[in-house]
Structure 1
Amino acid sequence: MGPEDKYSQIFEHLNLAPVLSALGKKNHRGRPEKLNIPAMIYSLLIAKMENIEFVSALVRRLIHSHEFRVQCRFTGSDNIPSQSSYSRLIHALEQTGMLEQLQDRLVTSALEEGFVSGTHLAVDSSMVEAWDCQFSESASKRRAARREQKKHEAPVAEQLQLEHPETEPKTVNEPLKKPRYSKPGRPSQAEKERRREEMEAYEQSLGPFQKTIEAMLPYTYDELLTALPRQAARCDKKNTKGRMTSYYGFKANLLVDTNSQYILSGLWSSANPNDQRMAVVLLKGLLLKFPMLKVKHILGDKGYDCAAIYQLIHSLGAYPAIALIHHKDPPAGMNLDYTPVCTQGHAYRYDSFDAKYETLKYTRPSECQGCALSGSDCQKVFKIRIQTDLRLHSYPARGSERFTELYKKRTAVERVFAYLKEYFGMKRTRHRGVRASVDFQLSTLAYNLSKFALDKLNQQLRNSQQIA
């Protein structure tokens, strides 16, 4: 397809009426609007598809290419927006959250059309480097030097206030200092009670992303989204070779349908929060956005192996399929997949799953057919309820062929990350702070729009072939 035909097919399914209602003028008084807001949004999406990284490059192309202006839906009477105009639009999109609503409406349309089943979902995260990563170290040193200089130049009254911080009122979001006790000897009962009260007050002052993952579960999706850190930060993680590497930037977190590879939900955060915390936010918002979904399995790698994640997935009516981290050796009579083994060390075969009682059924291994111990010391059938330990026992059972085939579908989310970084401009972000989340939402929206347009074209082609 030519560019004009391609973009017309893609933007046909994008309804910008809610965006214009949120960003437009509230009344007809005052100076008229001189900017074509829909064309500016189209141009930002086309910039993602054309790998135009900078807003300045986008403005230059609009100025020098009449064909590109037509593709972005600018008319001859429209003024070419400046970089400042695009900056104000990005800020407004971030403040209103309209891009996330457009994404949810598009996924809902894909569900209604039957393009998305939602049976098997995969969750994963990927790092996105910030543009100013090479300047982060020197900039942080300069900021620290300026703070130290201001501290020495402060007047005497301000220095006295800093020497007695307990007299200053603390803000609501500022956590208390963690109490430390270094006094030797056994504390008295009154001292124990005082320490317990201090520790409880400290834990209450922590934000949702500073608490344990289990303590994050009672929070609602909106509360977690409000407290989500979105500033660029430095993070250490292991690469594919197992070596620790450090990078400065953000983290993109996705929840993807494995069959259709649609992005159902995405979050943009700092690089600091681990994958398990971001999975809590994604899963809490899943059924809130798409209550019609009937999820059967949620797939994840070892980074999501946490008891709280298993509990949250099970509360959604789904079953987790997550690779297991072995913190300790399995008990006697079980292998590393927590499958029963016979006295000769042969693993029992996974047979079936009873959904009513949530019970896994294992039958005697084929190697035990001619064994002399099969009648007495070798049990014929094992039944294990997954509720005994949601982390260790999953449906289908780990180590079985069904689990292996199901877990292979998790690579869909990795392919989506590859598409986003290679074809939709998510390799790194030029924006800073919370505005970088708009850059991420534009990439995911352009990806889902392209997939939806392609599915609609394929559907029309199949219908025309059936009629013919």
Structure 2
Amino acid sequence: MYILQETLFSFEEWLKLESKERLEIFFSSLDLRPYAKQLKSHTPQGAPGYCREAILRAFLAAPMEGITTFTMLHRRLQTDLRFRYQCGFRLDQDAPSVSTISRVFADMVEKQMAEQLFHDLVSSCQTEGLMTTQHLAIDSTAIEAYERKQPKKKSETTGNATWGAKFDTYGNKITWFGYKIHLAVDTESELPIAVEVTPAHVNDGDMGPALMNKAAEVSNTDIEFIMMDAGYDQLKNYEVAHELNAQAIIPLNLRNEKEPPTGFSSNGTPRCSMGFDMVYWGADKRYLKFRCPHAAQKVDCPHGSAWCSSSDYGMVVKVNPNDDLRRFSVPHRDTKRWKELYNKRTSIERVFARLKENLTVNQLHIRGIQKVKTQVFLNLCILLASALAMSKASVRQHCA
């Protein structure tokens, strides 16, 4: 279930633009010359090569146009003069061959150029005020591999595609052979800030610390809250968030928990001497404050509030969240504010939907994790560059 919320950038509005208009706006705000210089051929002999900046443009345009293979990209460049011109190729020259496109892509993979571009675009989006990075959502999504399937024991030793399994919303077990994209997203703009690509068998919870630390390294503001689903309910994720002075908002996974701590309910609410859950009464200087449920008129205790306290205000219990980072949360678990924050996690589901339905992240016709990473970064770069392009186009239109 998706919860609609306002965002700083609407990718849906971007998709409504015509292809020719979208590419023109997209490339007008993207300077690829510094990256193209790294790809220039230093061989003095032979025929003049193709413009490396134009090939980079073609790699970025391909996912927007639903182009999933190098052969398809060559054919589109060869037959569509407008597309070739928008990518920056000379019209009096044939389109680059499939082998040329493949060689340039291999050079990009070796130099991790797509990752460089991704980090630079994240920085630009923050500079332009397109993402706040105060509230982050972390999750993963499965992508299929275009590789020969192997037995599980053998595949886990290659470092490439492996077998993965998870349960969907309805409790059905889903298996696939491929990879996982682990992503940290700014919930306000729904733009990516940190990413990891792993074989499919890697546990989500194990990637939480790396993503949080990566996000903190590139964020230009303090991170306040990090939303993750129950698959990340591991102490190390709470600890890393705490080290970053942020609060992890994660539902408790109670499947392997026998009993809650003595004197507390499973969600960290203290219980009075009669066994009633006490009433959360806000945070007091980073302490969680709970009141007698009878004095707060939530239950009718047969002994009244005098059983625990001589005050009409009733007994008060204060809990230090640092005593158990996993159990206690500020705001308190299951409160309205906690649920509002957790609902922001749906922003990352929409990002995954755009990557798979509107771009080509789940149609990767390449082999090997390094090439897969490059294609994933290129798809993510499109989201960031599109936001920058729309922002700059809006400013130009406003000033005109």
Question: Does TM-score exceed 0.5, indicating one fold?
Answer: yes
The answer to whether the aligner puts 1:393 opposite 2:328 as a matched pair is yes
The residue that corresponds to 2:198 in the other structure is 269
Aligned counterparts of 1:431 and 1:244: Cα–Cα separation in 2: 27
Q: Larger deviation: 325-334 or 264-273?
A: 325-334
For each residue in 1:338-383, what CA deviation from the matched residue of structure 2 results, as whole angstroms up to 9, or x when unmatched? 112335554333333345xx32222344335864421232653221
1:382 equivalent in structure 2: 317
Structure 2 Cα separation of the partners of residues 455 and 352 of structure 1: 39
Shift of 1:451: 2.2
- Conservation of the 8 A alpha-carbon contact between 2:125 and 2:384: no
Which stretch shifts more, 311-320 or 66-75?
A: 66-75
- Residue 100 of structure 1 deviates from its aligned partner by 1.4
Do the aligned partners of 2:144 and 2:179 also contact (CA within 8 Å) in 1?
A: yes
TM-score, normalised via structure 1 length: 0.74
Q: Distance in 2 between matches of 1:447 and 1:256?
A: 11
The CA distance in 1 between the partners of 2:357 and 2:287, in whole Å, is: 44
Contact residue 267 and residue 333 of structure 2 kept, 8 A: yes
Q: Secondary structure at the match of 2:149?
A: helix
Which amino acid in 2 is paired with 1:449? Answer: A
- 2:289 corresponding residue in structure 1: 361
Question: Which amino acid is the alignment partner of residue 379 of structure 2?
Answer: S
Of 237, 257, 279, the residue aligned with 1:349 is 279
Q: Deviations over 1:153-202 (max 9, x none)?
A: xxxxxxxxxxxxxxxxxxxxxxxxxxxxxxxxxxxxxxxxxxxxxxxxxx
- Structure 1 partner of 2:19: 3
Residue 136 (1) aligns with residue 149 (2): yes
- Corresponding residue SS for 1:268: strand
Question: Which residue of 2 is the match for residue 158 of structure 1?
Answer: none
For residues 33-432 of structure 1, what are the structure 2 equivalents within 5 Å? 33-132=48-147, 135-137=148-150, 230-290=159-219, 292-326=220-254, 327-343=257-273, 346-355=276-285, 358-365=286-293, 366-368=296-298, 371=301, 372-377=303-308, 380-432=315-367
Distance 1:404 1:281 in 2: 25
Residue pair 1:346, 1:367 contacting (<8 A) in 2 also: no
Is the contact between residue 308 and residue 315 of structure 2 (CA under 8 Å) also seen in structure 1? no
The answer to whether the 8 Å contact 1:254/1:265 transfers is: yes
The higher radius of gyration belongs to 1
State the Cα distance separating 1:18 from its structure 2 match: 2.5
CA displacement 1:243-275 (0-9 Å, x = unmatched): 333210011111000011010011211112111
CA RMSD of aligned residues (A): 2.6
Whichever structure has more helix as a proportion of its residues is 1
Work out the CA distance in 2 between the residues paired with 1:389 and 1:333: 14
CA 1:363–1:52 in structure 2 vs 1: closer, same or farther (change >3 Å)? Answer: same
Local SS of the residue matching 1:118: coil
Q: Shift of the alpha carbon at 1:230?
A: 4.9
Q: Secondary structure at the match of 1:330?
A: coil
Query: SS at the partner of 2:140?
Result: strand
For the residue of structure 1 that corresponds to 2:388, the secondary structure is helix
CA positional deviation for 1:305? 0.6
Between stretches 292-301 and 238-247, larger displacement belongs to 238-247
Deviations 1:77-100 (A, max 9, x none): 344111111211121111111211
Residues 323/456 of structure 1: CA separation in 2 closer, same or farther (3 Å cut): farther
Query: Which runs of 5 or more residues in structure 2 are unaligned?
Result: 1-16
Deviation at 1:390, TM superposition (A): 0.4
Please state if 1:12 is matched with 2:28: yes
Whether the aligned pair in 1 keeps the contact of 2:33 and 2:53 (CA below 8 Å) is no
Identity fraction in percent: 30
Q: Select the residue among 378, 381, 386 that pairs with 1:445.
A: 381
Larger displacement relative to structure 2 (369-378 or 407-416):
369-378
Contact between 1:34 and 1:78, CA under 8 Å: does it hold in 2?
Answer: no
Q: How far apart, CA to CA, are the structure 2 residues paired with 1:13 and 1:233?
A: 38
- Distance of 1:370 and 1:246 partners within structure 2: 50
* Number of equivalences: 373
Shift of 1:308: 0.9
Q: CA deviation at 1:458?
A: 4.0
* Whole-Å separation in 1 of the counterparts to 2:81 and 2:35: 26
Larger displacement relative to structure 2 (89-98 or 1-10):
1-10
